[in-house]
Amino acid sequence: MLTLYSYPDLFGVADNNGYGLKVYAFLKLAGVPFAHEHVFDASAAPRGQLPYVVDDGETIGDSETIIAHATAKYRLTIDAALTAEQRRTNHFVTRMLDDLYWVMSYSRWKDERYYPAFRDAFIAQHKQIDAAGFEKAKAYNAQRYHFQGIGRYTPEQAYARGLADLQVLAEIVPAAGFVHGAAPTSVDAGIYGFIANIFFPIPTPLKAFVDAHANLVAHCERIHAAVTGT
């Protein structure tokens, strides 16, 4: 059986990282049986990054590589009916979510207005992590943000990038159904992975944008219900 290794759950979603939640949602939507293990330390993961899967002894990292592997091995049809244009849209959205990731992460770890709420909620739910360990992770993320570039922006500049990404999503996601019609596809799993994490009860500018767009909230709730049965 395939086993997914990803970051811990938080605020009722299966992974507090957009990429792990994307893979989790994809596997659920596609009907792939899997075990799910939460990991706090990513140092042993491929490239030192989560999520990854172990499938019949084969270890695969990177969310898109995992999805491609599962699609091929299990002959998944979740995206089979997509047109070439729809596949291009999926690719563009996937890359835009890569950009949004950095702003979402920045809002948790870099912005001192919101970091304490994220830290306290995480530690309250996962008591094996203490404040000292969280501060080490905060310092590590500060280095990542600097080298990636988002850490050199002012908060206003950083959020402007993320809000621009969310505006595009708000224009793509329908009020009912899913991005490409009545049934969800892989792009819906990807969007859910990030919107569900932004929808945490921490009042960041990204959260305020999602709150103000009923279609994004409803889409998130539809996917959440589909993958959790609640």
Number of folded domains that form the chain: 2
**Is 201 a residue whose pLDDT tops 80?**
yes
Same domain, 196 and 143: yes
Whether the CB-CB separation of 21 and 192 falls below 8 Å is answered with: yes
User: Per residue in 56-68, pLDDT tens?
Assistant: 999 999 999 999 9
The domain boundary, picked from 44, 73, 102, lies at 73
Q: What is the CATH number of the domain that holds 31?
A: 3.40.30.10
Same domain, 142 and 172: yes
Question: Quick one: pLDDT band at residue 42, thresholds 50, 70, 90?
Answer: confident
Residue 88's pLDDT is 98
Q: Cα angle vertex 223, ends 219, 227, to 5°?
A: 170
In a domain, 66, yes or no: yes
In a domain, 108, yes or no: yes
Same domain, 15 and 112: no
Positive/negative CA dihedral, 124, 192, 207, 211: negative
Residue 181, Ramachandran bin (φ over 0: left; ψ between -120 and 50: alpha; else beta): left
Same domain, 93 and 207: yes
Longest dimension (CA), the chain: 50
Residue 49's pLDDT is 93
Host H or E run for residue 5 = strand 2-6
In a domain, 79, yes or no: no
Q: What is the CATH number of the domain that holds 157?
A: 1.20.1050
Element counts in the chain: helices (H) and strands (E): 9, 4
Q: Stretch 48-55: mean pLDDT, rounded?
A: 95
Residue 212's pLDDT is 99
Q: Stretch 83-94: mean pLDDT, rounded?
A: 98
Whether this prediction's pTM lies above 0.85 is answered by yes
Same domain, 95 and 186: yes
Same domain, 202 and 221: yes
58-61 and 52-55 beta bridge pairing: antiparallel
**Range(s) of the domain holding residue 182:** 84-228
In a domain, 78, yes or no: no
Strand segments (E) across 86-230: none
The larger pLDDT score, comparing residue 102 to residue 41, is at: 102
In a domain, 63, yes or no: yes
Q: Stretch 74-96: mean pLDDT, rounded?
A: 98
Residue 89's pLDDT is 97
Q: What is the percent of the chain where pLDDT is above 70? A: 100
**Is 230 a residue whose pLDDT tops 80?**
no
> What is the rounded average pLDDT for all residues in the chain?
96
Same domain, 118 and 201: yes
In a domain, 222, yes or no: yes
Q: How far apart are the first and last CA of the chain?
A: 25
Q: Stretch 77-95: mean pLDDT, rounded?
A: 98
User: Per residue in 135-181, pLDDT tens?
Assistant: 999 999 999 999 999 999 999 999 999 999 999 999 999 999 999 99
- Closest to 61 in 3D by CA, of 72, 50, 71: 50
Same domain, 58 and 102: no
**Is 202 a residue whose pLDDT tops 80?**
yes
Q: How far apart are CA 124 and CA 101, in angstroms?
A: 24
Same domain, 111 and 144: yes
Residue 138's pLDDT is 95
Any idea which residue has 């589909």 for tokens? 226
Same domain, 186 and 212: yes
In a domain, 94, yes or no: yes
In a domain, 121, yes or no: yes
